[in-house]
Structure formats: C-alpha cells, structure tokens
Amino acid sequence: MRYMFGFRGDALTKDAIGEDSTRSSADLITNYLDAAGDTLLDVDGNGIVEALSDGILFIRFLFGFRGETLTNGAIAPGATRTTAAEIEQLIEQLNTLTPDPGNTLDTARALGPLSRARTTVSDSVGDADSVDMYSFSLDEVSELNFTLSGLNADADLAIIEDTNGNGQEDEEDFIVGFESINSGNSQEAISGILQPGDYFVLVEQHSGDTDYELILEVSPVDVPPDNAGNTLTDAREIGTLNDRQTFSDFVGDADPEDFYRFSLDSTSELNLTLEGLSSDADVLLIEDINGNGLLDDDEIFDTPYAEGSISEAINETLPAGDYFVLVEQFEGDTDYDLSLEATVPGTPPPDNAGNTLDTARDLGAINDRQTFSDFVGNADTSDFYRFTLDDTSELNLTLEGLSSDADLLLIEDLNSNGVLDDDEILDAPFIEGNDSEVVLGPLATGVVKTS
C-alpha cells in the first residue's frame, strides 16, 4: 500500500519490516517492487496500479481472504481480472519474483545503507549471466562479514569502491584484502573494517553455472576520536607553519589515514617527526601539484618508510606554498605524536646565475679565461650559464672552492626547447664529496650551457 501511495525511503519501511526478512532496506524493497512492475502490481488488470484497489486486494490476500471476501468492492472499473481465482493466481506469482542484479556499477542492485541487520540475497551466475553487482553504503566505520555460499560451481566475491567516480570497474577500484577467490565450489568469505562510504559487492562466475546465497553482516566499530581528516580535501588545517606544533592522534584498521594541511609564507626548513608509535605507521610529505584533491604518485615529496615502531623524520627545504602531511597505518593500531616546525634559513648569497636554461647567465663568446663565483644549496639548487664558441675550441672548465658536494654539467640544448633533456648532457664528471670537478675537450662552434 505504501509503495502504491508513492512512499519511498524510511516512509516506506518504518515499522513494517519483519525480524527475519531477507529484504530489510527501503532500497531493496523498492527495487523488488520496481522489478514487479505494472504487470504484477496491477492486480485487477485495468492498466493502473492503485492503492485503493490493487493495494486492498494485496492486503486482503495477505490476511488470508479468499473468494468473494477477497474481491468484494475492490475491483476497479475497467478491470480485466475480476474473479478471485484470477487475482489469487497473479498475486502468487510475486512469491517467485527475483529481480536480476545489474551487471555494472551503474546498474548495480541497490541494497541501501547496511546496518546491524543481516541482509541475504539469492541469485545465480553462469554463462548466461556471469556478473551480479550490488551497491551498498556504510554510515559509520563498520566491520564487515560477507559470505557467498550454496555454490555448486566456482564463483568469486569482491568489494569495490569506485574511487574515481567514473562508473566503471577499474583494477584500482578493487579494495586490497576484500577479495575471496577460493577454488571450486568452496564458500567465499570477506571480513574486515571499512570507512563510511559507498561500495559495491561483485559476485562473478569463475567457471560453470551456480546458484548462490550472499549474506552481508555489518557491525559498528568503536573508533578513537579522529582529529584529522581522511582525504586531502578534508585534511586538518594547521595554517601557516612557523613555531613547533605537535598533534596527537591514532591510525589503525578503523582509521588508517590522517591528513594535515599547512602553508609556508617563504622558503623554509621543515623539520617533521612522527613518534610515540606502538605499531608500524608511515609519514608522507605531499604537495597537491595539480590541485585535484587526490594523492597522485608524483606528489609525494618525501617519506622515510621506517620499519616497525621506529620514529620517522623528514627534513626538507621547501619553497613557499601549501603542503600536506599524511600519517598512514602500515600495520596494526597505534597512537602517534606528529611534530612540525618551519624555520626560515639564513639568507643565501646573491644569485648571479639563472635557474633554468632560458634564464641562464649569458657569458657571450668565450675566448680568454673567465671566473665566476656563486652559491648553490637548499635555497638555490641550480645555476645555469650560457656561452658561445665562434670556432671549434678546446674547452677547459673547472668547478672548485667547494665545501659540500656539487656537480658540473656541460649541456647543449639540441632541440632548443629550453628544457634539459637526457640526451643533451655532453659531459658530467659527478665527483663525490667536495672535490673539484673538471670538464676538458674539444667543442664545435655553437651555443653551449653549463649547470
């Protein structure tokens, strides 16, 4: 009746679900009745599904009314089924109705939010229908116990999260540790803890045709208070980092990632420590270079990856900008203390050379000996010089007076793209330590650059 009156969601199911029901959510019941369609819900066959005719017939049938007591005053004008026998036969067909789950993420059969109630669905996979997809959501951190049983051929079970929201089943969408691929007709089982969110269950034929029973059980998990966000977009905001700040929190099965965001107003020395660990956790320094709110592989500045419960530290000189720190569970559950401090390094000597091929200091045509003094270090990592040879010449180039390790490269921008490509390095001694470096050799006429 509620469905026929247009009720959906909680209004459809409130106080109307039996204790042992296998369809225990509004989405599941709506999908079931949607699949029935007008063919079965239009009980009297007048072309319209009406609560005050078709709905009354259903209710009377469920109360055990048969014969004239079933149909009296409940048949609508224009009905094509008017006898009790015809009505009873049609309603009985609903007992055998099983809507087929979808075969893709976009067409997945919705199970709705899973809570403490046990959800059971039955269907089959095989050559004619090799994939069944179900969608579900979790409103809180939950422990899952999913089983796939009743198999008479080989089928597999997996949980998927559409991380990029493209509605497609990508390889990276399969959640590590949430797949079961036992051989033969052995039962498949998945258990573990998942964060709140939207997920999918995949039942897939491996070989043969088989019926199955999928049982989904979830229970809430007690989680320590989470003071940091779980993504780049909801990272805990530290603001502009200067003096030392310390944050204490937890990572583990129930909360595997904590993100922090901070800003630097100027080039600064970052000193970061992760300590107080009782299990293995890692710390990552991140810059969201493309601003997409996702952690891409090329956006990790530094990560020590120390083993076990050993403290981790990051010391980097960073230019002004916005950065993130990720504290990530590697194994087990642990509290932690994260400390960050940013200090402005001493003012480096004036920079007399450019930092790219395009901004290289132009020395013009080289003939006599010329000497240039400058500085490289954390605050100014590269100095480029440009020179020209009018004739084929013997080049003698030395780098000396070093107090730390610096390297000397002789470069020719062959394709003139203003970018240093791998095949454009003519010579590079790469001497270790603070020993002087030397480049010797004949060069043809042209424009050459050094770094």
Extract the tokens encoding 71.
Answer: 């149909």
Cβ atoms of 200 and 131 within 8 Å: the answer is: no
What's the number of domains the chain is made of?
Answer: 4
The answer, as to whether pTM is greater than 0.85, is: no
The string of pLDDT tens digits covering residues 41-75 is 888 888 898 988 888 988 998 899 999 998 899 89
Query: Are residues 186 and 143 located together in one domain of the fold?
Result: yes
Instruction: Name the DSSP letter for residue 186.
Output: P
Q: Any idea how long the chain is?
A: 451
Residues 125-146, mean pLDDT to the nearest whole number: 92
Extract the tokens encoding 61.
Answer: 């049938």
pLDDT at 339: 95
Query: Are residues 188 and 250 located together in one domain of the fold?
Result: no
Query: Are residues 52 and 92 located together in one domain of the fold?
Result: yes
Does any domain span residue 256? Answer: yes
Does any domain span residue 350? Answer: no
pLDDT at 99: 63
Residue 129's nearest CA partner among 150, 85, 98 is 98
- Report the C-alpha gap between 88 and 67 in whole angstroms: 9
Mean pLDDT value across the chain: 88
Extract the tokens encoding 258.
Answer: 């904590």
Query: Are residues 52 and 113 located together in one domain of the fold?
Result: no
The string of pLDDT tens digits covering residues 187-242 is 999 999 898 999 999 999 999 999 999 999 999 888 788 889 889 999 999 999 98
Domain that holds residue 38: 10-96
Does any domain span residue 148? Answer: yes
Boundary of a domain, candidates 312, 343, 374 = 343
Is pLDDT at 445 greater than 70 in this prediction?
A: no
**What is the radius of gyration, based on Cα positions, of the chain?**
34
Does any domain span residue 180? Answer: yes
Query: Are residues 71 and 148 located together in one domain of the fold?
Result: no
- Describe the strand order of the beta sheet including 385-389 as a list of residue ranges: 361-365, 385-389, 446-450, 410-411, 425-427
pLDDT at 451: 67
Instruction: With cut-offs at 50, 70 and 90, classify the pLDDT of residue 442.
Output: confident
Residue 210's nearest CA partner among 151, 157, 158 is 151
- Compare 37 and 338 and report the one with higher pLDDT: 338
Query: Are residues 119 and 87 located together in one domain of the fold?
Result: no
Instruction: With cut-offs at 50, 70 and 90, classify the pLDDT of residue 348.
Output: low
pLDDT at 23: 67
Is pLDDT at 446 greater than 70 in this prediction?
A: no
Instruction: With cut-offs at 50, 70 and 90, classify the pLDDT of residue 17.
Output: confident
Cβ atoms of 118 and 28 within 8 Å: the answer is: no
The string of pLDDT tens digits covering residues 228-279 is 988 999 999 999 998 899 999 999 988 999 999 999 999 999 999 999 999 9
- Describe the strand order of the beta sheet including 280-286 as a list of residue ranges: 236-240, 257-264, 321-331, 280-286, 300-302
Does any domain span residue 273? Answer: yes
Cβ atoms of 240 and 152 within 8 Å: the answer is: no
Instruction: With cut-offs at 50, 70 and 90, classify the pLDDT of residue 328.
Output: very high
Query: Are residues 90 and 128 located together in one domain of the fold?
Result: no
Query: Are residues 325 and 374 located together in one domain of the fold?
Result: no
Does any domain span residue 26? Answer: yes
Extract the tokens encoding 302.
Answer: 């530094």
- Report the C-alpha gap between 145 and 133 in whole angstroms: 17
Is pLDDT at 97 greater than 90 in this prediction?
A: no
Does any domain span residue 351? Answer: no
Question: What is the distance, to the nearest Å, from the Cα of residue 182 to the centroid of all Cα atoms in its chain?
Answer: 26
Is pLDDT at 335 greater than 90 in this prediction?
A: yes
pLDDT at 274: 94
Query: Are residues 91 and 120 located together in one domain of the fold?
Result: no
pLDDT at 448: 54
- Report the C-alpha gap between 167 and 398 in whole angstroms: 59
- Report the C-alpha gap between 284 and 302 in whole angstroms: 6
Boundary of a domain, candidates 294, 309, 343 = 343
Query: Are residues 321 and 243 located together in one domain of the fold?
Result: yes
pLDDT at 340: 95
Query: Are residues 83 and 139 located together in one domain of the fold?
Result: no
Query: Are residues 92 and 133 located together in one domain of the fold?
Result: no
Boundary of a domain, candidates 220, 246, 281 = 220
CATH number, position 322: 2.60.120.380
- Report the C-alpha gap between 79 and 248 in whole angstroms: 70
